[in-house]
Amino acid sequence: MAELTALTIAEARDGLKKKSFSAAELADAHLAAMEKARALNAYVQETPERAHAMAKASDARIATGKAGALEGIPLAIKDMFCTEGVRTTASSRILENFVPTYESTVSAQLWRDGAVLLGKTNNDEFAMGSSNETSYFGPVTSPWRRKGANTKLVPGGSSGGSAAAVAANLALGATGTDTGGSIRQPAAFTGTVGIKPTYGRCSRWGIVAFASSLDQAGPFAKTTRDAAILLRSMAGHDPKDTTSVDRAVPDYEAAVGKSVKGMKIGIPKEYRVDGMPPEIEKMWEQGASWLKAAGAEIVEVSLPHTKYALPAYYIVNPAEASSNLARYDGVRYGLRVPGRDVIEMYEKTRAEGFGPEVRRRVMIGTYVLSAGYYDAYYLRAQKVRTLIKKDFEDCFKAGVHAMLTPATPSAAFGIGEKGKADPVEMYLNDVFTVTVNMAGLPGIVVPAGLDGQGLPLGLQLIGRPFDEEAIFSLGEIIEKAAGRFSAPKWW
């Protein structure tokens, strides 16, 4: 049998059912692998005691025939999800010692179904970033390297720890949050599968708020099937989040392997951006021909407002972030740096508690929301957002079931290589992913190939609202055709 950490969730589920191994053995194999992989910095906290206790309880339930859908499956949780009694930091100094007294709805649903917590994963501070380099706990190193080189590469961000953990076999699956691409971009960089479901599909309750009209939770997994298994547990209506939608959660796994015959797939011509590496262009065409061979119809479509998505996102996002982060004032949560009076205490706490990217977003956000600029920036960005959404709606109305696009404009880059002098250089990474958050649509990224340097590249499928099933069916076709990729072990 394959190493326990190399299994997929579906395989582990079978093995546990057949009693080929126990949940305790499965958890132990992962905890041992995590210990050996500390150089990757994927976890900000390992929770071996909790993992042992949960695995033991899973084994007891398996023995009595009461196993849940994820019984005994060891998972990593992004440190944006509040975990009761387990420190939750958002990878920020300001929350360095914050231990929540409650559990996020999404993680609670995973535990309800029997999953086992291995630890909390690293991310960009407050999920602001595309490389996991803004974390207070330091960057995550990708398990992937360029052929013949040992340059340390980023795993993408903001959910870099979750992506690296799954890619390096340090968890069978992981949670992420995606506000502008933070699940899909790291999935593309690490050869894993990541899905951002429709806005409202998962509850945001208990997730550290970043930009509330864009934030969604979703899973990372080794395969499309595994992502479908995880999303079924994570999704659902929650009265504690009024933006979560009261709609039955389908059996997403049943969509994996379903025929896509007759589905109309749009290729948005505006995604053919200047300077796109020819390898990505080629892979995109290859993806379209795989879907065509499976019986889908490929059509060129136009999303004319695409070019405004990035600038509009980088107004809406900081505006909401600046408002959400106002709560970190040294009074109620986390760090407090004393001052002569309360104003100085606020100032010192926030200056020392937040890193440079977070401070930048708070300043931009405050500026675009301020009297006199609100109409010129924030209101205008909201109008652009409506137009972006309408572009997609028009295509869907014309019969398109899903869109196929590249996931990122490049493969993974080196730690320290991008965005130092100009933060916009980093923001440009999100060019293919932010539109999906602006429109509230579901988007999945699946690995589609390796580039000339041996690094994974991903393709994105964007679906109609609440039609995650279609993109699971389509994603699996690409995954099957491309094959799976794993990083050669060096750590």
Rounded Cα distance between 462 and 403, Å, is 5
Closest alpha carbon to 124 in 136, 115, 114, 116: 136
Nearest residue to ligand GLN, using CB? 182
Strand partners, 404: 461
Output phi, psi for 75, to 5 deg.
-130, 160
Give, for 57, the enclosing helix (H) or strand (E): helix 48-63
* 13 vs 120 by CB, closer to ligand GLN: 120
Task: State in angstroms the smallest separation of the CB of 56 from ligand GLN.
Answer: 35
Q: Nearest approach, Cβ of 406 to ligand GLN (angstroms)?
A: 16
The alpha carbon of residue 490 and the mean position of all alpha carbons in its chain are separated, in whole angstroms, by 25
Pairing of strands 173-178, 193-196: unpaired
Supply the residues annotated as catalytic.
Answer: 78, 158, 182
Letter string b/e over residues 16-31, b meaning 16 or more CB atoms within 10 A of that residue's CB: beeeebbbbbbbbbbb
**Which CB, 13 or 184, lies closer to ligand GLN?**
184
- Give 78 or 145: the residue with its C-beta nearer to ligand GLN: 78
Do 160 and 123 meet the contact criterion of CB atoms below 8 Å apart? Answer: yes
Phi, psi of 261 (to 5 degrees): -55, 130
**Cβ 298 to ligand GLN shortest distance, Å:** 29
Whether a cis peptide bond, with omega within 30° of 0, leads into 158 is yes
Answer yes or no: are the C-beta atoms of 431 and 272 closer than 8 Å.
Answer: no
Residues that bind ligand GLN (CB under 6 A): 127-130, 158, 177-182, 210, 317, 430
Residue closer to ligand GLN by CB (options 267, 441) is: 441
Closest CA to 436 of 63, 101, 65, 185: 185
Nearest to 76 by CA among 189, 160, 133: 160
Smallest distance from the beta carbon of 436 to ligand GLN, in angstroms? 10
Q: Which is nearer to ligand GLN, 210 or 377 (CB)?
A: 210
Residue number with CB closer to ligand GLN (130 or 233): 130
State the nearest-atom distance from the C-beta of 178 to ligand GLN, in Å: 5
